[in-house]
Amino acid sequence: MKKLLFPLAILAMSSFAQAKTIELPADTIQWRPSPLPGYQLALQKCTTCHSAHYAEYQPPNTGVGYWNTQVLRMKNVFKAPITDEEVPVIVEYLNQTYGANRK
């Protein structure tokens, strides 16, 4: 009986190890264009991990403090490739484009 169970267990495990493919839907929400330098940084830095959906779905009454917290969270917790000097530049773009101070 043990001789039969081992090959069956190997066969069952191999079916779990096969590669799966996932096709994601096209990204339809883009970062809002802006002459602010943070726009280019968002395209370069933020898009490596997520789309503009993240910014679009934040509460519209958010201020500088909120965006600063979010950018620092991305940098420090999720290890986004953002330098300390880039943080306020990205925050200004997010605040003026998606936050309560949007123009």
Give residue 15's pLDDT: 57
Enter the CATH code of domain 29-98.
Answer: 1.10.760.10
Tell me the per-residue pLDDT of 19-69, one tens digit each, with 9 for 90 and over.
788 786 777 889 999 999 999 999 999 998 898 999 999 998 999 999 999
Give residue 26's pLDDT: 74
**Residue 4, SS3?**
helix
Give residue 17's pLDDT: 61
Report the distance separating Cα 95 and Cα 68, nearest Å: 9
Q: Could you give the C-alpha distances from 12 to 5, 8, 9, 44, in angstroms and in order?
A: 10, 6, 5, 43
Tell me the per-residue pLDDT of 24-34, one tens digit each, with 9 for 90 and over.
677 788 999 99
The structural domains of the chain, with segments of one domain joined by +, span 29-98
Q: Does the pLDDT of residue 86 top 70, yes or no?
A: yes
